[in-house]
Structure 1
């Protein structure tokens, strides 16, 4: 009789639980926040002193910092492809930014804004295995808010064909070169905004005073895309609070152009004082207060991170939600960003050739933290070497999904939990742009090939990151055995791309 009574109490308790409580007990929610061009040294917990990032820093303090985390490519589209597919640059379908030029005038911003046949990048095939599809198959509601860049609007490579139940944001990376765009996309629908078309690289009028704020009015319109997308991200969390969800929040911040509403930049205009206006000569839009604008864009990202965390708290979801924050590549070198003033890549080297677009540390080592109350030790850090293509197996591991056999990545769930973690034998990069590049990190050693296409070169540079994190002293000549090992890995990990654009003849393509 007593056992029957206990069973009855247990049954009543179970059926009285809300659907939210039952689902959350089984699978954690995942919020993956991917900043755009956020440098290793541009957040407070990494030593940034001029830009305030209190919300990101708080998540770092109550979670775990990974100091040796890498993007899988030094620019947007391939990094995002490799993140979602678990493939490295020697195997991935998208290995560089591919604007799919055979369609016509794809770089004509105004024409592409009007004609979706010219908008967007070359598509991933619809049958591509993605992290989103795997999570969708495990009962997750999946959403992407932000920047896509992996398939044009009318192609098979739109987000809703690749595992996402919901999409809102920029389909096209080129259209994201204006943060007050004429339109965004919601699933397959083109959503018109209250903004006029202002073509990127539009300069000040010839008679305009660069020190007069009114001269820049055309670059600040009504509908600020990062604000609109943020509202949709919050709404996605709220509307899916009763089921496990995966939110891939691919923010366009702080990627140039330097555009931020006046109310958001006021603090930094005051704090940073007089500035030399940026005239737009390096591309993107001019800006009267470029340092203040850039700092405010990172602060805006931080504010939005705080609001995501507050939404999770308000809905009683925080304890069962994994928050991951990282960046698609290192900081930019153009568009008016003063990377030396902000020490954007600290402790690595700054500037063209060493940051975005290149496989030196400033271009590929990115900030990364994981926050999961009660599961990840607060205030902890890890020096485990990890990379974007590890996320697919790691997230599968964290939520109890079988890891696909054909991933290039390795789960680092143990490192997240603070347990003994088997290290990679090596991690690998292949990037057929900016001259053509490959790289390997093996423990403290870093091997780099540059100008594989531009100069048909297979020369290898070798650096000891433990003693030379700025990659200044090439030790290749004194380590012939290690160079031979790196050559064998470069050959093993490269496969001929299915797309001619990414072929590297020096590698036998």
Structure 2
């Protein structure tokens, strides 16, 4: 079925009326755990992001864009397949534990088949495959997280001509790994082995920089991957359109960043309490956690500036569609301090409301689109959109048919034409107790703790209560009833039992 579908798509892909030299290059930049409020253009006051802010001023800023999920892997699955979490194959972070000691970096180093997450099925057709069959050169730099090495779901088997980065999300819990992957082969780095679950030795002074020397290694993966991405861009020809998925691991903890940026924010923020880890810690200690977190974001911003500079030098910036966004809301783990930075902006960011949860702080993300040849400068859009719209947008852009999906193209918004609107957006999430959410215009309906049984539906009016502090479900029973019908209509039992929720009628 997969081969037949690809053949049919390949036949249709070249039937569009745009001339090949008019098709834009596409660069999709995906930050990792970057909050809605962590960019200057979205109101950040401490962390400096001049290059990303410049993108927004040169293009369009979206104020009501949503991630595919509140955590990494399912959000990426939604983005690449166009299916929301009621239909997607990957609905949570599934580490495929039955293979063995999958949380040991040493075990993974000795046996690469322990790396990676449970794979998507081979029958899935991704955006990358669609673009590849349309004549685009496709590449992925950064974090994959949608299938282990040697499985049917590696980047090269899911539509990417070239891959350089992390296959495995757990490996990305250190930014100084012993290796990355170049296509299907390990790419060694000059880093000594340092396992996860590290805390600062109690005999060391947490305020002494020398106490952290053992955690300072050589090859910083975000820098290594970025250099490779820039080299790749420099080789691209104007007559060969390309799609680059730049899936940065920043600013996902652990707190590790280039020294120049750390020093900059140490001076700007001043003295702070060290993060020394703990019993459940899966990251690394850090003497100045706030400064380092800010440094990670400013370094990502610097990398965005490099990408734009390279495109301009090659004369390709004007005809390149760049989309910048984040895979979910801000994290509270590993020494990150989202409340200090007001990381979710107008939304709540603390544990229970940020990453891992379907409240606005966990799924509302920044989204910036620039395409100088087409998008009007400095425009702000309040169009309600989601990751699962990207598939349809690509189909609309290239005038081709895409596989069945849940999205609506936002190309009309980019080109300031009449935009079709969603009746609702839908999420479900089997982790952190089991959750569902629906956005219907100004209304937001949420269910939590679904693994305990069907629970009361919460209802919020986002036009008056952006922080989702006042449950008004008792006052609007008809809206609640509509939401509950929509919850039921959009849930299809997951093939993977790990993603099933008994209270929704799933077989366990």
Partner of 2:24: 28
Residue aligned with 2:436, SS: strand
Partner of 1:18: none
Partner of 2:165: 169
Give how far 1:240 is off: 2.3
Unmatched 5+ stretches in structure 2: 1-17
Give how far 1:24 is off: 6.4
Give how far 1:403 is off: 3.2
Bigger-Rg structure (1/2): 1
Is the 1:84–1:392 Cα contact (8 Å) retained in structure 2? yes
Question: How large is the Cα RMSD of the aligned pairs?
Answer: 1.2
- Using the alignment, how far apart are the partners of 2:380 and 2:20 within structure 1? 26
Is the 2:138–2:159 Cα contact (8 Å) retained in structure 1? yes
Give how far 1:386 is off: 0.1
2:272 to 269, 272, 275: 275
How many residues align structurally? 486
In structure 2, the CA distance between the partners of 1:290 and 1:206, relative to structure 1 (3 Å rule), is same
- Using the alignment, how far apart are the partners of 2:299 and 2:258 within structure 1? 10
Is the 2:319–2:373 Cα contact (8 Å) retained in structure 1? no
Residue aligned with 1:196, SS: coil
Are residues 1:255 and 2:256 paired? no
Superposed, which structure 2 residues align to 1:391-470 within 5 Å?
A: 391-404=390-403, 406-453=404-451, 455-470=452-467
Partner of 2:384: 385
Is the 2:258–2:295 Cα contact (8 Å) retained in structure 1? no
- Using the alignment, how far apart are the partners of 1:24 and 1:255 within structure 2? 37
Superposed, which structure 2 residues align to 1:76-475 within 5 Å?
A: 76-242=72-238, 243-281=240-278, 283=281, 284-404=283-403, 406-453=404-451, 455-475=452-472
Per-residue CA deviations over 1:213-262 (Å, capped at 9, x if unaligned) read: 11111222110000000011112212223410000000000000000122
- Using the alignment, how far apart are the partners of 2:111 and 2:351 within structure 1? 33
- Using the alignment, how far apart are the partners of 1:258 and 1:125 within structure 2? 34
Per-residue CA deviations over 1:71-105 (Å, capped at 9, x if unaligned) read: 01000000000000000001000000000011111
- Using the alignment, how far apart are the partners of 1:452 and 1:81 within structure 2? 22
Residue aligned with 1:133, SS: helix
Is the 1:458–1:506 Cα contact (8 Å) retained in structure 2? no
Give how far 1:23 is off: 7.6
Give how far 1:61 is off: 0.6
- Using the alignment, how far apart are the partners of 2:358 and 2:306 within structure 1? 33
Is the 1:113–1:175 Cα contact (8 Å) retained in structure 2? no
Residue aligned with 2:263, SS: helix
- Using the alignment, how far apart are the partners of 1:24 and 1:331 within structure 2? 39
Unmatched 5+ stretches in structure 1: 1-21
Is the 1:220–1:261 Cα contact (8 Å) retained in structure 2? no
Is the 2:145–2:169 Cα contact (8 Å) retained in structure 1? yes
Is the 1:276–1:288 Cα contact (8 Å) retained in structure 2? yes
- Using the alignment, how far apart are the partners of 1:293 and 1:286 within structure 2? 11
Give how far 1:458 is off: 3.2
Per-residue CA deviations over 1:29-85 (Å, capped at 9, x if unaligned) read: 000000000000000000101010000000001100000000010000000000000
Residue aligned with 1:124, SS: coil
Residue aligned with 1:312, SS: helix
Per-residue CA deviations over 1:252-282 (Å, capped at 9, x if unaligned) read: 0000000012223111111111111111126
TM-score of the superposed pair, with normalisation by structure 2: 0.94
Give how far 1:117 is off: 1.6
Residue aligned with 2:450, SS: coil
Give how far 1:107 is off: 1.4
Per-residue CA deviations over 1:433-485 (Å, capped at 9, x if unaligned) read: 110111000000000010111x1133210000000000011011111111111
Per-residue CA deviations over 1:180-207 (Å, capped at 9, x if unaligned) read: 0011000001011110121122112231
2:500 to 499, 503, 507: 503
Residue aligned with 1:366, SS: strand
The farther-off stretch of 411-420 and 293-302 is 411-420
Give how far 1:506 is off: 0.4
